[in-house]
Amino acid sequence: MTEAGLRSDPDGRASGPGWAAKLALQPWFHRFCARMPGLRHIARAEGAALFEVVSGFVRSQALLALVELRVLHRLIDAPAATHTLAALAGVPVDRMAVLLQAGAALKLIRRKGDMWRLTTRGAAFLTVPGLEAMVRHHPVLYRDLADPVAFFKGETVPELASFWPYVFGAGGAADPGLAARYSDLMADSQGLVADDTLHLISFTGITHLMDVGGGTGAFLAAVGRAHPRIRRSLFDLPGADAISLIRVLYDHADQTVAALLQAVRAALPPGGRLIISEPMSGGARPDPATDVYFAVYTMAMQTGRTRSGPEIAAHLHSAGFEAITPAQSLRPYVTSALTARVPA
């Protein structure tokens, strides 16, 4: 691999930064851009984007505080003043004022006079399935990243590595209440994944769909509502002409994925179809949602990893699938999808 910011020659050797990166390394170039009307807005936008990267952890923690103190929930029915919200949350008024201002900067709430009210984004946050539960789950990941250098060196034992196996019934010492709460998180977010998958993938011609690793069956329920004539099974005996793996592969190592895809191919009839839907790495075009959030999350779980579409396609090809077709993702931070067929 080449160092960040370096180009590679066709033979793979690093050849140094590109011309734009070389200019960006020069302080005089930044001063020049700041003075030029045509470049000024680009320089400011880049500066703002850089600061967003640097300060992002504070934004996520401010959001967690808004959720745990139920500030957004208290504004559902009616606006409220700073002192009212402070009293309800048990937070000093001056500190609540700072948190509310942060919430306004995140465009979740807004102030009119002395009263705070929800914005459209704030209302959406409370109603989109799984978002609130995801934020309340993040302290586990925050603790795992308390020493990010040690984490990336592999010198820590992430809490997530022992958390999810307990949730899915593999033992452990997690609080059963927490386990139930985060199982609900998976079920809630599965609704978003199901909606996007149904938009991305054509189910035309499928008569029997078997969903493998489908948990409570949320995806199959969504398929049933959209395509009531399709027979549906949750990890049943072979006989289906299509199998779906919804948020399954990224939970497992390459060796397990290879074995699973071989088993799926053996279970499908000639011409049978496989549907895969999960967050995928951007690969050659890194994505901030999947290559930062999901990639780090799966690393902390220590059981799988976030793969790109081409990586998954390579596994499918090795397992004997053909007609491997990626779908254009609607929301990569929710899911991406691809299909493949067993040779007829």
Cβ neighbour number for residue 32 with a 10 Å cutoff: 13
pLDDT of 96-140, one tens digit each? 999 999 999 999 999 999 899 999 999 999 988 778 888 888 898
Instruction: Confirm if 343 and 274 have CB atoms less than 8 A apart.
Output: no
Say whether pLDDT at 33 is over 70.
no
Structural domain contains residue 20: no
Last residue of some domain: 88, 110, 127? 127
pLDDT of 83-100, one tens digit each? 999 999 999 999 999 999
Among 192, 194, 148, 144, smallest CA distance to 164 is for 144
Verify that 331 and 242 share a domain, yes or no.
yes
Verify that 193 and 313 share a domain, yes or no.
yes
So what's the pLDDT on residue 312? 97
pTM above 0.75, yes or no: yes
Q: Pairing between strand 273-278 and 335-341?
A: antiparallel
Structural domain contains residue 219: yes
* CB-facing half-sphere around the CA of 107: CA atoms within 13 A: 3
Verify that 323 and 276 share a domain, yes or no.
yes
Structural domain contains residue 302: yes
Supply the mean pLDDT for the chain. Answer: 85
Mean per-residue pLDDT, 305-318: 96
Structural domain contains residue 93: yes
Verify that 309 and 166 share a domain, yes or no.
yes
Q: 184 is in which domain, residue-wise? A: 131-341
Structural domain contains residue 324: yes
Last residue of some domain: 94, 109, 127? 127
What whole-number percentage of the chain has pLDDT above 70? Answer: 79
So what's the pLDDT on residue 239? 83
Sign of the CA dihedral 127, 133, 139, 141?
negative
Q: Based on the structure, what is the number of domains in the chain?
A: 2
φ and ψ of 335, to 5 deg: -170, 160
Verify that 167 and 224 share a domain, yes or no.
yes
pLDDT of 213-263, one tens digit each? 877 788 999 999 999 999 999 887 678 999 999 999 998 999 999 999 999
Verify that 90 and 146 share a domain, yes or no.
no
CATH number where 103 lies: 1.10.10.10
CATH number where 292 lies: 3.40.50.150
Sheet with 231-234: list strands edge to edge: 231-234, 208-212, 242-246, 273-278, 335-341, 322-331
Verify that 165 and 298 share a domain, yes or no.
yes
- Residue 7 Cα distances to 13, 50, 288, 310, angstroms: 8, 21, 21, 21
Question: Which residues lie below 8 Å from residue 227, measured CB to CB, with a gap of 6+?
Answer: 203, 206
Verify that 147 and 112 share a domain, yes or no.
no
Verify that 203 and 254 share a domain, yes or no.
yes
So what's the pLDDT on residue 55? 77
Sign of the CA dihedral 62, 65, 66, 67?
positive
| Integer Cα distance of 233 and 241 in angstroms | 11
So what's the pLDDT on residue 16? 61
Q: Residue 5: pLDDT band by 50, 70, 90 thresholds?
A: very low
| Integer Cα distance of 225 and 158 in angstroms | 39
Verify that 162 and 204 share a domain, yes or no.
yes
Last residue of some domain: 101, 127, 153? 127
pLDDT of 150-207, one tens digit each? 999 999 999 888 776 544 444 444 456 655 655 666 666 778 889 999 999 999 999 9
Structural domain contains residue 55: yes
DSSP 196-229: HHHHHS--TT-SEEEEET-TTTHHHHHHHHH-TT
SS3 category, 341: strand
Verify that 153 and 84 share a domain, yes or no.
no
pLDDT of 38-87, one tens digit each? 666 666 667 667 767 777 889 999 999 999 999 999 999 999 999 999 99
Verify that 211 and 337 share a domain, yes or no.
yes
Structural domain contains residue 309: yes
